[in-house]
């Protein structure tokens, strides 16, 4: 990067008379530094000389100018410094050097007006390029800051929605958060990375969002539901899917809402999917959801201990639950009971906003 007001030209030419000629032709408001060889040029660069432009004179034998030009352009300090190459009138290298990255190629003999105008053109072009790069990075940083705010706002909205869901049913206070955390424990044990764990966490938080469309009377009924009430409850996965499917960039979240009540044996709802027909995230959430339901108080049945819930999950592997996921969940529960591991609070763990993953297995 450089300022148009402090132009330093580095001229590499072993021909003393050519150096003098260039010195006389270049406008006096430019600071031109002359060296006779690449070694001198590199020595000056090590002393922190930062030229606005390099003039490379090819009108003398015994030097590999292509190698020199390549070294100049590969230097991390100089890679963006424009190079104008001065070539003999009868040289056929003009197109070649333009092709490999020279900013300009000027044939000799040099004319003062032509030389200065083309130096101006190259420097002005580089100035505009540097300005645009600076603005691009500034814009990128601004977008990054806005992205951070969007992450915070999105998570706050999702947390508020999950709290609203749980508030509709006095028997399931905190259920959505616990399901999200249990689902993450299972997914982490299955080897998924933080990006996918965040998607699974958000899917867990919102898996019951469809209950917003179910009557409070049905949700809060202190006892078993009749056939009509059960039919109403069975609509909540469809309602949830309709709500979340508008988030087209993150379809996995809507998967969790629609299919977390499917069963591995095909006897679940709403679509009666069987085995691997059920996407992976709902299969994970299904186990997490059942574990939290079994270990929570209900008016119509007693609360199970973690050990009893673990045994119930194992008994239902292959029928209600995916066998592999059920066994992984049982192992996690066993380790939690023994004190070997603790369930993590993941609410503030994730730092990147969820987005579609390249891991296609989760769409399966």
- Tens digit of each residue's pLDDT (9 = 90 or more) over 163-185: 888 777 766 678 999 999 999 99
Q: Of the given ranges (39-53, 112-126, 226-240), which has the lowest mean pLDDT?
A: 39-53
Predicted local confidence at residue 207, as pLDDT: 95
Q: Confidence class of residue 63 from pLDDT cuts 50, 70 and 90?
A: low
Q: Of the given ranges (90-104, 195-209, 234-248, 302-316), which has the lowest mean pLDDT?
A: 90-104
What digits encode the pLDDT tens for the residues 247-290?
A: 877 788 999 999 999 999 999 999 999 999 999 999 999 999 99
Domain limits of the chain?
A: 8-139, 169-363
Predicted local confidence at residue 188, as pLDDT: 95
Predicted local confidence at residue 1, as pLDDT: 44
Is domain 8-139 classified as CATH 3.40.50.2300?
A: yes
Output the CA–CA distances (angstroms, integers) from residue 79 to 51, 127, 128, 342, 355, in the order listed: 12, 15, 17, 52, 35
Half-sphere exposure of 200 (CA within 13 A, CB side): 33
62: left (phi over 0), alpha (psi -120 to 50) or beta: left
Tokens for 15, please give them. 């021909």
Predicted local confidence at residue 255, as pLDDT: 95
Identify whether 109 is preceded by a cis peptide bond (ω within 30 of 0): yes
What digits encode the pLDDT tens for the residues 110-132?
A: 889 999 999 999 989 888 888 88
166 contacts 179 by C-beta, under 8 angstroms? no
Which overall architecture, per CATH, does domain 169-363 show? Orthogonal Bundle (1.10)
Express as a percent the part of the chain with pLDDT over 70.
90
- What rounded mean pLDDT belongs to the chain? 85
Q: 8-12 and 31-35: which strand pairing?
A: parallel
Instruction: Kindly tell me if the per-residue pLDDT of 19 is higher than 80.
Output: yes
Predicted local confidence at residue 358, as pLDDT: 40
Q: Confidence class of residue 8 from pLDDT cuts 50, 70 and 90?
A: confident
Residue 11's DSSP bridge partners are 34, 55
Predicted local confidence at residue 59, as pLDDT: 65
Comparing 350 with 223, which gets the higher pLDDT? 223
Predicted local confidence at residue 349, as pLDDT: 54
Q: Confidence class of residue 66 from pLDDT cuts 50, 70 and 90?
A: confident
Instruction: Kindly tell me if the per-residue pLDDT of 77 is higher than 90.
Output: no
Instruction: Kindly tell me if the per-residue pLDDT of 363 is higher than 60.
Output: no
Predicted local confidence at residue 197, as pLDDT: 93
């Amino acid at each position: 990067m450089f300022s148009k007001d402090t132009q330093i030209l580095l001229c590499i030419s072993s021909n003393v008379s050519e150096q003098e000629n260039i010195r006389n032709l270049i406008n006096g408001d430019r600071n031109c530094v002359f060296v006779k060889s690449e070694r001198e040029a590199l020595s000056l660069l090590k002393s922190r000389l930062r030229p606005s432009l390099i003039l490379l004179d090819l009108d003398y034998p015994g030097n590999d100018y292509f190698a020199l030009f390549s070294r100049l352009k590969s230097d991390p300090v100089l890679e963006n410094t424009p190079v104008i190459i001065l070539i003999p009138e009868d040289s056929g290298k003009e197109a070649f050097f333009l092709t490999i990255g020279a900013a300009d190629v000027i044939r000799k003999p040099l004319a003062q007006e032509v030389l200065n105008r083309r130096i101006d053109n190259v420097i002005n072009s580089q100035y505009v390029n540097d300005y645009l790069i600076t603005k691009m990075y500034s814009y990128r940083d601004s977008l990054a800051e806005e992205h951070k705010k969007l992450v915070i706002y999105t998570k706050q909205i999702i947390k508020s929605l999950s709290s609203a869901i749980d508030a509709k049913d006095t028997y399931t206070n905190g259920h959505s958060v616990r399901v999200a955390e249990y689902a993450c424990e299972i997914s982490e044990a299955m080897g998924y990375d933080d990006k996918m764990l965040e998607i699974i966490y958000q899917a867990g938080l919102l898996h019951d969002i469809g209950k917003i469309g179910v009557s409070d009377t049905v949700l809060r009924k202190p006892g078993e539901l009749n056939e009509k009430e059960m039919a109403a409850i069975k609509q909540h996965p469809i309602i949830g899917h309709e709500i979340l499917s508008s988030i087209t960039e993150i379809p996995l979240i809507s998967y969790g809402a629609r299919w977390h009540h499917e069963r591995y044996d095909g006897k679940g709802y709403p679509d009666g999917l069987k085995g691997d027909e059920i996407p992976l995230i709902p299969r994970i959430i299904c186990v997490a959801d059942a574990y939290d339901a079994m270990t929570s108080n209900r008016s119509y049945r007693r609360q199970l201990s973690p050990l009893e819930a673990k045994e119930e999950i194992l008994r239902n592997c292959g029928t209600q639950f995916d066998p592999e996921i059920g066994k992984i969940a049982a192992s996690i529960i066993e380790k939690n009971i023994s004190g070997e591991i603790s369930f993590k609070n993941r609410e503030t763990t994730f730092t990147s906003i969820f987005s579609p993953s390249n891991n296609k297995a989760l769409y399966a």
